[in-house]
Copies of this chain bind each other. A is one copy, B any other.
Amino acid sequence: MKIKSIESHQQTDVQMDGAAGVKMRMLVGHEDGAGNFHMRHFEVEPGGHTPHHNHDYEHEILILAGSGVAKTEQGDRPFSAGDALFVAANEMHQFTNTGDAPLEFICLIPAPKDCTV
């Protein structure tokens, strides 16, 4: 069984177009033997944001710390620590840290079928 603190996972800058001030840790992924879905940890600095985009897979998200605004197909919606989010496949979405502290959340996705990821 793997038991490992969030902080002890390597943190890398997210280089994706449209992302600003976002860092990621892979908490449970291919290297752990997870074949169905993966747990990633994201940290967004104040004013930072994830890309405004969509894709053909869903997100399951839990906000761990901080607060922000989700740009959704139903308009801008606030969120804060303790909120659970579900983004359906193909739904446009973007998360911006509108607070003064780091925004932290986990975001789970189906395991990529491309084995190089």
Minimal beta-carbon separation of A55 from chain B (angstroms): 14
- B residues near A33, Cβ cutoff 8 Å: 86, 88
Number of interface residues of A (CB under 8 A): 41
- B residues near A3, Cβ cutoff 8 Å: 70, 77, 79, 83-85
Q: Chain A 30-62, CB within 8 Å of chain B: the 1/0 string?
A: 001111110101000000000000000110101
Residue A106 is within 8 A (CB to CB) of chain B in the complex: yes
Q: How far is the CA of A9 from the CA of B58 in the complex (A)?
A: 20
- B residues near A108, Cβ cutoff 8 Å: 37, 39, 60, 108
Residue A13 is within 8 A (CB to CB) of chain B in the complex: no
Residue A87 is within 8 A (CB to CB) of chain B in the complex: yes
User: Are A83 and B1 interface neighbours, CB within 8 A?
Assistant: no
Using known A-B contacts A1-B73, A1-B93, determine if residue A84 contacts B37 with beta carbons closer than 8 Å: no
- B residues near A106, Cβ cutoff 8 Å: 62
Q: Which residues of A contact B (CB under 8 A)?
A: 1-7, 9, 27-28, 32-37, 39, 41, 57-58, 60, 62, 64, 70, 72-74, 77, 79, 82-88, 91, 93, 106, 108, 110
